[in-house]
């Protein structure tokens, strides 16, 4: 019985990560009397939303067999550009948001074009573009935050819909769309096929490079959306926005069953992984542990998740 249960959890990563999330949630509720308060749950949901949007894009790239380390920087740069357009040029906030989303799509598109047309490795390329985008961010702001963001858009980051934070609602809508695309459309099948074997996918007539560019573009757009929601949340366009959105989305995706080698996993699993990380970080705060330990915890989680991924695959091959 125990062997069958273990085999089921290893073979069904989504079920396994859901069980892990449930266990961590229950343990957190038992460890701290403040965990289940409506305020704390709202804090977790809101913080999860920003990283979650980047995680959706990163998980789709990982399924494709790619990786973009510049997504966090794209989010920060697009948030800063929106602030500049609104405060320095007097552009309508909603138009500024649209233009910044277009910028995020353009930056993601650029990453995709560089990867496909020059044959560059996405990991190496996006390390470089992260430096470029981050440098532009500092050039534009000189390291100083852009303040007095119009209150008419702050609802996007601070507001609630029936008690649910708006950013969390946005993330759920985006997740639903991403899950539908990856699981129910030809594009989703192409993404999995390319992630499993790009050469075989090309032989079947799939426009491999076109799909790669499209997913990079979508990931850049979602990163920009996360950055804009954070600007609305803070009421300022901070140059540091997105600086911590590099490791957690990768960790969340791996925890959620997305293979680092491509072709396996779902955005839903990645968000469940992001929820696990968000709860653990929240417990760290509730216990008064230094926030500097969050980076250590994230790193440990990544190592454990990758190790578990490798062990589970080895186990399943042995079972087959």
CATH fit for domain 39-285+293-319, picks 3.90.105, 1.10.3470, 1.10.1760, 1.25.40: 1.10.3470
Q: What is the pLDDT of residues 160-199, one digit of tens each?
A: 998 899 999 999 999 999 999 999 999 999 999 999 999 9
* Residues 6 or more apart in contact with residue 145 via CB below 8 angstroms: 236, 237, 238, 239
Domain boundaries, the chain: 39-285+293-319
| Cα atoms found within 13 Å of the Cα of residue 81, Cβ hemisphere only | 24
Q: 9: helix, coil or strand?
A: helix
Lowest-pLDDT range of 54-68, 194-208, 237-251, 284-298: 284-298
pLDDT attached to residue 6: 46
Between CA 309 and CA 320 the distance in angstroms is: 17
Longest dimension (CA), the chain: 66
Q: What is the pLDDT of residues 140-153, one digit of tens each?
A: 999 899 988 998 89
In the chain, % of residues over pLDDT 90: 64
∠ Cα 140 143 146 (to 5°) = 70
Between CA 17 and CA 14 the distance in angstroms is: 5
Where do the H-state alpha helices sit in 32-150?
Answer: 38-64, 71-87, 93-118, 122-141
Q: What is the pLDDT of residues 4-43, one digit of tens each?
A: 554 544 455 677 788 888 888 998 899 888 999 999 999 9
**pLDDT tier for residue 260 given thresholds of 50, 70 and 90:** confident
Mean pLDDT of 287-307: 72
Q: Look over the chain and give the mean of its residue pLDDT values, rounded to a whole number.
A: 88
What are the Cα distances from residue 238, in Å, to 16, 242, 284, 287, 318? 37, 9, 25, 28, 50
Highest mean pLDDT: which of 55-59, 257-261, 303-307? 55-59
pLDDT attached to residue 298: 66
Lowest-pLDDT range of 127-141, 165-179, 222-236, 272-286: 272-286
Mean pLDDT of 69-82: 96
> What is the DSSP track for 213-278?
HHHHHHHHHHHHHHHHHHHHHHSSB-TTTTTT-SHHHHHHHHHTT--TTSS---HHHHHHHHHHHH
**For residue 296, is pLDDT > 80?**
no
How distant is the alpha carbon of residue 39 from its chain centre? Answer: 24
pLDDT attached to residue 16: 74
**pLDDT tier for residue 320 given thresholds of 50, 70 and 90:** low
Q: CA torsion, points 252, 255, 256, 262, in degrees to nearest 10?
A: 90
**pLDDT tier for residue 262 given thresholds of 50, 70 and 90:** confident
**For residue 104, is pLDDT > 80?**
yes
**For residue 305, is pLDDT > 80?**
no
∠ Cα 201 123 257 (to 5°) = 65
Per the structure block, which two tokens stand in for 177?
């769309």
**pLDDT tier for residue 207 given thresholds of 50, 70 and 90:** very high
Contact assessment for residue 256 and residue 265, using Cβ atoms and an 8 Å cutoff:
yes
Per the structure block, which two tokens stand in for 143?
């390291």
pLDDT attached to residue 268: 93
**pLDDT tier for residue 297 given thresholds of 50, 70 and 90:** confident
Helix (H) or strand (E) holding 165: strand 164-165
Mean pLDDT of 295-299: 71
């Amino acid at each position: 019985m125990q062997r069958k249960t273990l085999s089921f959890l290893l073979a069904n990563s989504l079920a396994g990560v859901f069980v892990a999330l449930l266990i961590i949630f229950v343990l957190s509720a038992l460890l701290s009397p403040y965990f289940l308060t409506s305020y704390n749950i709202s804090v977790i949901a809101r913080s999860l939303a920003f990283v979650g949007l980047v995680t959706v894009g990163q998980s789709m790239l990982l399924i494709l067999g790619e990786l973009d380390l510049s997504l966090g920087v794209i989010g920060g740069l697009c948030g800063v550009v929106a602030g500049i357009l609104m405060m320095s040029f007097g552009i309508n906030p909603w138009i500024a948001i649209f233009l910044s989303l277009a910028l995020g799509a353009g930056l993601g598109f650029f990453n995709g074009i560089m990867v496909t047309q020059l044959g560059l490795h996405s990991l190496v390329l996006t390390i470089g573009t992260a430096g470029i985008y981050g440098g532009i961010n500092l050039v534009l702001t000189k390291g100083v935050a852009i303040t007095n963001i119009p209150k008419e858009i702050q609802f996007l980051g601070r507001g609630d819909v029936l008690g649910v934070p708006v950013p969390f609602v946005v993330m759920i809508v985006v997740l639903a769309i991403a899950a539908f695309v990856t699981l129910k459309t030809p594009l989703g099948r192409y993404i999995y096929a390319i992630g499993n074997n790009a050469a075989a996918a090309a032989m079947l007539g799939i426009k491999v490079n076109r799909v790669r560019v499209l997913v990079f573009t979508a990931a850049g757009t979602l990163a920009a959306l996360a950055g804009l929601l954070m600007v609305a949340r803070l009421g300022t366009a901070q140059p540091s926005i997105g600086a911590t959105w590099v490791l957690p989305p990768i960790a969340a995706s791996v925890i959620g069953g997305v293979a680092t080698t491509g072709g396996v996993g779902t955005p839903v699993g990645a968000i469940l992984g992001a929820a696990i990380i968000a709860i653990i970080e929240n417990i760290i705060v509730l216990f008064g542990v230094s926030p500097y330990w969050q980076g250590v915890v994230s790193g440990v989680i990544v190592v454990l998740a990758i190790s578990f991924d490798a062990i589970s695959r080895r186990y399943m091959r042995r079972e087959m």
